[in-house]
Each structure stands twice: as C-alpha cells, then as structure tokens.
Amino acid sequence: MKNNNLGFLDLLVSGFDQALRTATGLQPGSGRVNPASETSDDSMAREQRRHVAGLMRVNHSGEVAAQALYQGQALTARLENVREAMEQAAREEIDHLHWCECRLQELDARPSALNPLWYAGSFAIGALAGMAGDHWSLGFVAETERQVVKHLEDHIERLPKGDERSRAILEQMKVDEKQHGQAAESAGAAQLPTPVRGLMTLTSRLMTRTSYWI
C-alpha cells in the first residue's frame, strides 16, 4: 500500500511503530562506520566531559526530532520521488542518531528525557508540512538543514580541543546535513515565509537549551 493512501488510523499506527523503533535503537541505518572509530579518546577533565555530554545530548535530541520530521513528511508526501528522498535522508539521520548515542555511552551520559516530546512534536510538524504540499515540505527540510548546519558549526567550536571523537562525528553530520538541504533545494523546495523561519529558530533554541541539561 502506498503511503499517500493511508488513512488517519494507519498513519497513527505507522507513526507509533516508527517511534518505538527509534526509541529502542532498532531503526536500521545506512550501515556506515562511525566516524569516531578511527580517532583516539583523549582524556578530558570531569567538567569538560560533562560539557561534551550536554552538547551530544542536544545533538542526539536533534536526530530524534529529525527522524520524526522525515517520517512524518514521508508518510504524507504526494510524489514518489519526494517520499523516497525523505526515506533515504531518514536512514542517514539514523546513522547520526546511533553515533550520538554511542558517544553518550562513552561519556557515561544519558539521552534527553524530553526526547518523546521532541519526537511527537516533530512528527506532527512533518506530517503537516507534507500535507501542505511537496514543495513546502521540501522547503521545510531545506530551512531545517540550514539551521542544523549552523548549530553543528557552533558545537564544533565549543568542543574541547582534545575531543577528536565528538568532533569527527559532528563534522560528518555537518556534511550530511548540508547535502540533505542542497538535495531539497534541487528538488524544488519553496522559500518559507519569514515568520515560519523565525518560529523554527525559536523552537530549535528551546530544544537546545533544555536538552543540554535534561
């Protein structure tokens, strides 16, 4: 059955299944090797480890939200090529999710307790964006990825100099996110209105500031 023929109940069931897979780490990624695997884990002071854990917790939450966003958009996309692009991007975002989770484990830190909230909100936004039309949905992806790249650049700057493992992960994530945004633009992304872009920025800041601690 094609996703654009799904009824409302089907969408809820499918979304719940995807949420469970994401929460339990059962979502399959693209199979890429963790970028941190070829770097050494230099010793850091306790306060530095706590700071890095906060940053990686934020990035992990961002990837949970990205999963939900892409899954919601894929379910409501009208064009098959747009749906396939969303699903491919989601698989690559799962790689990011796994890499961030591994880094958190290495730092003896936990993911954000607010991840279910970020997932639910992002899934709803993604589904609404998809229903608004593929060009608007792609526009949402392009703007989201633009903001994510800026966010990752900021985090890379804030990492301790000796933390090459986190840096390798974030650098590869930045490359992927930039490619996702460019792909969305090439596919015909619409320019989002300024108020929508501003609201997206405010929501991102809220998630960043809370997930760092909670």
Q: Which residue has the tokens 């992990």?
A: 60
Q: What is the CATH number of domain 45-211?
A: 1.20.1260.10
Q: What is the pLDDT of residue 70?
A: 76
Rounded distance between C-alpha atoms, residue 18 and residue 67, angstroms:
9
pLDDT digits (tens, 9 = 90+) for 105-128: 999 999 999 888 888 888 888 777
User: Is 28's pLDDT higher than 70?
Assistant: no
Give the CA distances from residue 20 to residues 59, 62, 185, in Å, rounded to whole numbers and listed in that order: 19, 17, 31
| The most confident of 39-43, 54-58, 88-92, 191-195, by mean pLDDT | 54-58
pLDDT digits (tens, 9 = 90+) for 127-145: 777 777 778 888 888 888 8
Q: What's 113's DSSP letter? A: T
CA triple 117-118-124, angle to 5 deg: 90
Q: What's 38's DSSP letter? A: G
pLDDT digits (tens, 9 = 90+) for 41-69: 777 888 899 999 999 999 999 888 888 87
Rounded distance between C-alpha atoms, residue 111 and residue 58, angstroms:
8
Average pLDDT score over the chain: 80
Rounded distance between C-alpha atoms, residue 77 and residue 82, angstroms:
7
- Amino acid code (one letter) for 212: Y
User: Is 198's pLDDT higher than 80?
Assistant: yes
